[in-house]
Amino acid sequence: MIEIKNLTYIYDTQQSPALENINLSIQPGEYVAIIGPNGGGKTTLIRQLNALLTPTQGEVWIDGLSTGNVKNHKEIRRLVGMIFQNPDNQIVGMTVEEDVAFGPGNLGLSPAEIQRRVDSALAAVGLSELGKRAPHALSGGQKQRLALAGLLAMDPKIIVLDEPTAALDTSGQTEVFRQIEKLHQQGLTIIFITQDMEEAARADRVLVLHQGRLVADDHPAQVLTRVEWLLSLGLAPPRLVQLMCRLRESGFDIGTDVFDVERACQQISTLVTGQRQMLTDRKPREV
């Protein structure tokens, strides 16, 4: 459970606040996407969640622990795992196993317990075979899964990810999202930043940050279909939504909350068969 109250964060008093009066609560097991233009404050916000940054004003509570209290940081960082954008710069170990063992080692667990956690975390992300490999020899997608395993070994409740797929190719992106969704199904709270609206559409809840303010907090079907508004914030709405909106503007009776090709296909084909039906229905009467 995450509780954010009147959170304001200022990097530099000369500049406007990076975050301004944010109020937010996230329940266990939620699947949340954060979007917003560059400099909107997304990274700053999620860094508050594991106490890499602490509020200038206001409070951030993680499972009843305030990030303002340094004594809580150890437990907060165990509860909230974080994945960064660049897969290379978060690897600490010289082998895959060793890297996963870093977090549990910081918790001071016994070698036997560390080994048990390393094995189960690597199995959970499907990297068991590669335990002895050097991390730099993995693909980008594998590196991000390794980073996830490193968090799982600490038994977190919440995982936050800062543009986890931005540095990956398409297959790496699918690979990482499949993994994230599996963890979500196992009951972990997932919060991720993305520039990709199709990715955002997969979440159950979308937060929009603009100039340090939380300007929307709703279901993707409500947020990602506001084409004009998204464009005015400098965000590109999902292409399928744009297509559906165009069709709707041209007078077709069609839903706009369409995020995958499958649904779009379905909607358009019912539309087309309906039109064709109308034409064939009409013809005999004219004769």
263 C-beta neighbours (distance < 10 Å), count: 14
Which letter does DSSP use for residue 18 in this model?
S
Whether the Cβ atoms of residue 2 and residue 26 lie closer than 8 Å to each other: yes
Q: Does the protein bind other proteins through residue 84 (CB under 8 A)?
A: yes
Per partner kind, with CB cut-offs from 5 to 8 A, the member of other proteins, ligand ATP, Mg ion, none near residue 170 is: none
Whether the Cβ atoms of residue 59 and residue 8 lie closer than 8 Å to each other: no
Give dist(CA 191, CA 32) in Å, integer.
5
The pattern of x and - marking residues 113 through 142 that bind other proteins according to CB under 8 A reads -xx--x-------------x-x-x------
Report the number of secondary-structure helices (H) and strands (E) in the chain.
12, 10
Whether the Cβ atoms of residue 28 and residue 188 lie closer than 8 Å to each other: no
Burial class (CB in 10 A: 0-12, 13-18, 19+), 13: exposed
Beta strands in the chain (DSSP E): 2-9, 19-26, 31-35, 57-62, 65-66, 80-83, 158-162, 189-193, 205-210, 213-218
Given the complex with ligand ATP, which of 111 and 234 has the nearer CB atom?
A: 234
For residue 154, what are the CA distances in angstroms to 108, 144, 178, 253?
Answer: 11, 16, 21, 50
Given the complex with other proteins, which of 117 and 226 has the nearer CB atom?
A: 117
- The rounded Cα 259 to chain-centroid distance in angstroms is 16
Give dist(CA 41, CA 43) in Å, integer.
6
Given the complex with other proteins, which of 77 and 226 has the nearer CB atom?
A: 77
Task: Restricting to residues 146-165, name those near other proteins by CB under 8 A.
Answer: 150-151, 154
Stretch touching other proteins by CB under 8 A, among 19-27, 90-98, 239-247, 277-285? 90-98
Task: Restricting to residues 26-55, name those near other proteins by CB under 8 A.
Answer: 50, 52
Q: Does the protein bind ligand ATP through residue 14 (CB under 6 A)?
A: no
Task: Restricting to residues 38-97, name those near Mg ion by CB under 5 A.
Answer: 43
The pattern of x and - marking residues 34 through 53 that bind ligand ATP according to CB under 6 A reads --x-xxxxxxx---------
Per partner kind, with CB cut-offs from 5 to 8 A, the member of other proteins, ligand ATP, Mg ion, none near residue 134 is: other proteins
The pattern of x and - marking residues 91 through 130 that bind ligand ATP according to CB under 6 A reads ----------------------------------------
Q: Does the protein bind other proteins through residue 90 (CB under 8 A)?
A: yes
Given the complex with Mg ion, which of 84 and 102 has the nearer CB atom?
A: 84
Binding site for other proteins (CB under 8 A): 50, 52, 74, 77-78, 81-82, 84, 86, 88-95, 97-98, 101-111, 114-115, 118, 132, 134, 136, 150-151, 154
